[in-house]
Amino acid sequence: MPPRPAVPRSLGVAPFRADDALARGLLTRDQLRGKTWRRLFRGVYVHADIPLDHRVWCDAAALLLPEGGAIAEGSAAFLWGCPAPPEVSVVIPTSATLRPQENLLVRRSTVDPKDVTDALGLPVTTALRTAFDLARFLPRVEAVIALDTLLHKKQVFPDKLHAYLASRGRWPGVAQARKHMGEADPLAESPMETRLRLLLADAGLPPPVAQHKIYRKVNGRPKFVARVDFAYPDLLIAIEYDGDHHRERTTHRFDQERQNELHVMGWTVLRFHADDVLRRPGELVAKVRAVLRRAGTR
């Protein structure tokens, strides 16, 4: 009989339940305690060479789910295309039991079977239920960022989201969800754009137009010049958020040429970075307010 391989093929690619591996004779308890395996949750292990990204953590959490449970909230949003949260979130029916533990957040709630689907082979709350839960439970800025992302990626649509909310009018957190949904914008292309938009709103400034396209006439025909993150078109004021990719040489040069052309057309262009939004929000708002006042608004 050939010797048992140190790493059974079926256990080397994804998380597994220790009791299953032991029952099938794939590992002994002594082997499981060795450095070859890494414990993720109680009773759930993974090969030590597998990089631990959020997808792996979701795979591990799914092994613990009781009947009717699903990957939920921030982790579900990750599976629908949003940035990864720091911990895995799951939802289980109110009649089920699963203890929270390190890196695992457990919420007990009503779970309609129609609210659970398959995403990448895992049971996950639908995009609609995910958006609804995030709008209910996350702080305002984080909730609007999540909603913006799901709307922008067309994982959910405003009319269906509002109809879903209306059908669950007595659920906890609905009032907060309704408020957060009212601030969401599918045109937002990044979390920092959302933060910038909310900063302007909180300062009482007039809402700008998002993703505004600017043209100029050439030989009597419109020629596309730029699409800016935010604009006050009647005042010829543009606001841009520059992420890290704008520091690349070719992108920076393109931005410079485009901005020069906008200046020639009479536009005032304000450019902000992450530090402006996160560390100097007051200065950012003051600059926008000053430009608006100069253009004749209050």
- Crossing angle of helices 191-202 and 140-152, in 10° steps, is 130
- Is residue 103 within 8 A of residue 90, CB to CB? The reply is no
Per-residue pLDDT, averaged over 284-295, amounts to 97
Per-residue pLDDT, averaged over 96-121, amounts to 97
Q: What is the pLDDT of residue 243?
A: 83
Q: What is the pLDDT of residue 10?
A: 82
- pTM score, whole prediction: 0.90
255 pLDDT exceeds 70? yes
Per-residue pLDDT, averaged over 176-183, amounts to 97
Q: What residues contact 100, with CB distance under 8 A and at least 6 apart?
A: 106
Number of neighbouring beta carbons within 10 Å of residue 166: 10
Confidence of residue 57 (pLDDT cuts 50, 70, 90): very high
Distance CA 229, CA 66 (A): 44
Distance CA 75, CA 130 (A): 9
Phi and psi angles of residue 245, each rounded to the nearest 5 degrees, phi first:
-65, -20
Q: What residues contact 19, with CB distance under 8 A and at least 6 apart?
A: 43
Nearest to 216 by CA among 261, 150, 249, 274: 261
21 pLDDT exceeds 60? yes
- To the nearest whole number, what is the mean pLDDT of the chain? 93
Confidence of residue 4 (pLDDT cuts 50, 70, 90): very low
Distance in angstroms between the alpha carbons of the first and the last residue of the chain: 86
Instruction: Choose the weakest-confidence range: 59-73, 85-99, 251-265.
Output: 251-265
Give kind and range of the element (H or E) at residue 160: helix 158-166
Distance CA 116, CA 119 (A): 9
Q: What is the pLDDT of residue 1?
A: 47
Q: What is the pLDDT of residue 12?
A: 86
